[in-house]
Amino acid sequence: MRPPAEPPAAPRRPPLLLLLLLLTNFVPSFGKETLRTTAVTPQFEQNMDYADFIHLNILEKKVLNNSEVLVQYLCSKPCIINLEAVASSEFRTGVPVYRRRWKDEKNLYVSRTRQVHLKFPSIMVYRDDYIIRNSIIVHSVILYAWISHQSVSSYDAEQNEDYQDAVAKNYTFLEAVPPFERPYKDHKVCLQWGADYLWMLQANRIPQCPHESDGVQILNFIYASSGEKTGIVKKFEQFENRELETVRQHQIDYPMFTVSIWLYLLHHCEKDLCGIIYFIDPKEMYSTPAVFLSEEGYVHIQMHLMRGDDLAVKTSFSLPLKQWLRLDLSFKGGQIEVSSVGKNLKRHHHQSFNFREDFYYDDTAGYFVLGGSGYVNGIEAFFGPVKYYRLNVLETEQISNPLHDEETVEQIELYYERCMDIQEIVYEYRNIISQGEKMQRNCYYENYYLELIHNYREKPKCDAFMWGKEIREKYHTLFKLLQEMDFSAPGVSEDGSDTVLEVGRRIFQKAAKSLSSADGLSNMGSSVPLLADSSCCGYHKASYFLAVVFETGLGVSVDRTKGLLYSLVGAQGNERLAVMNLGYKHYQGINNYPLDLELSYAYYSNIAIKTSLDQHTIKGEQAFVETIRLMDDELLKAQTKENGDVFMWLKHEATRGNAAAQQRLAQMLFWGQQGVAKNPEAAIEWYAKGAIETEDPVLIYDYAIVLFKGQGVKKNTKLALELMKKAAAKGLPQAVNGLGWYYHNFKRDYRKAAKHWLIAEELGNPDASYNLGVLYLDGIYPGVPGRNQTVAARYFYKAAQGGHIEGTLRCSLYYMTGNMEDFPRDPEKAVIWAKHIAEKNGYLGHVIRKALNAYLELSWHEALLHYVLAAETGIEVSQSNLAHICEERPDLARKYLATDCVWRYYNFSVSQVNAPSFAYLKMGDFYYYGYQNQSKDLELSMRMYAQAALEGDSQGFFNLALVMEEGNSIPSYILDHLEIDQALHSSNTSLLQELYYRSTSWEPFFYQFWLHLQCSIFRLYLPIILLEQDQNRRQMNLFPQRIATKMLPD
8 A C-beta contact, residue 1042 and residue 741: yes
User: Which pLDDT tens digit goes with each residue over 571-621?
Assistant: 999 999 999 999 999 999 998 899 999 999 999 999 999 998 888 776 778
Measure the CA–CA gap between 431 and 306, rounded to whole angstroms.
58
User: Which pLDDT tens digit goes with each residue over 358-373?
Assistant: 889 999 999 999 999 9
Phi-psi region of 975 (alpha: psi -120 to 50; beta: other; left: phi over 0): alpha
Q: φ and ψ at 636, to 5 degrees?
A: -65, -35
The confidence band for 1042, taking pLDDT boundaries of 50, 70 and 90, is very low
Which of these, 316, 299, 363, 361, lies nearest to 334 by C-alpha position? Answer: 361
Angle formed by the axes of helices 789-801 and 1018-1036, nearest 10°? 70
Of residues 859 and 487, which shows the higher confidence score? 859
8 A C-beta contact, residue 581 and residue 872: yes
Measure the CA–CA gap between 981 and 991, rounded to whole angstroms.
9
CB-count exposure of residue 40 (10 Å: 0-12, 13-18, 19+) = exposed
CB atoms within 10 A of CB 1000: 10
CB atoms within 10 A of CB 73: 24
**What per-residue confidence (pLDDT) applies to 147?**
93
**What per-residue confidence (pLDDT) applies to 241?**
79
The confidence band for 1010, taking pLDDT boundaries of 50, 70 and 90, is very low
Residue 61 has pLDDT above 90, yes or no: no
Measure the CA–CA gap between 107 and 75, rounded to whole angstroms.
8
Measure the CA–CA gap between 422 and 507, rounded to whole angstroms.
13
Going from the C-alpha of 249 to that of each of 195, 332, 357, 393, the distances in angstroms are 41, 15, 18, 16
Give the containing element (helix H, strand E) for 1022.
helix 1018-1036
User: Which pLDDT tens digit goes with each residue over 403-439?
Assistant: 988 999 999 999 999 999 999 888 888 887 777 665 5
Residue 83's DSSP bridge partners are 100, 145
Of residues 652 and 470, which shows the higher confidence score? 470
Among the listed ranges 56-60, 378-382, 986-990, which one has the minimum average pLDDT value?
986-990
Q: Please tell me which of 222-236, 415-429, 680-694 the model is most confident about, judged by mean pLDDT.
A: 222-236
Measure the CA–CA gap between 122 and 106, rounded to whole angstroms.
36
Length of the chain: 1050
Residue 712 has pLDDT above 50, yes or no: yes
How do 223-226 and 310-318 pair as beta strands?
A: unpaired
Residue 1038 has pLDDT above 50, yes or no: no
**What per-residue confidence (pLDDT) applies to 238?**
92
* Alpha helices, DSSP H, located in 818-937: 827-838, 842-856, 860-871, 876-888, 890-896, 901-910, 917-929
The confidence band for 26, taking pLDDT boundaries of 50, 70 and 90, is very low
User: Which pLDDT tens digit goes with each residue over 383-407?
Assistant: 999 999 999 999 999 999 999 889 9
Helix (H, G, I), strand (E, B) or coil at 820: strand
What average pLDDT does the structure give for the chain? Answer: 82
User: Which pLDDT tens digit goes with each residue over 1020-1029?
Assistant: 443 443 444 4
Measure the CA–CA gap between 733 and 773, rounded to whole angstroms.
17
User: Which pLDDT tens digit goes with each residue over 916-951?
Assistant: 999 999 999 999 998 887 888 999 999 999 999 998
How do 231-234 and 335-342 pair as beta strands?
A: unpaired
Measure the CA–CA gap between 146 and 165, rounded to whole angstroms.
9
8 A C-beta contact, residue 910 and residue 902: no
Of residues 934 and 21, which shows the higher confidence score? 934
8 A C-beta contact, residue 243 and residue 28: yes
Instruction: Name residue 486's amino acid.
Output: D
Measure the CA–CA gap between 505 and 804, rounded to whole angstroms.
35
CB atoms within 10 A of CB 668: 26
Measure the CA–CA gap between 560 and 573, rounded to whole angstroms.
20
Measure the CA–CA gap between 101 and 152, rounded to whole angstroms.
12
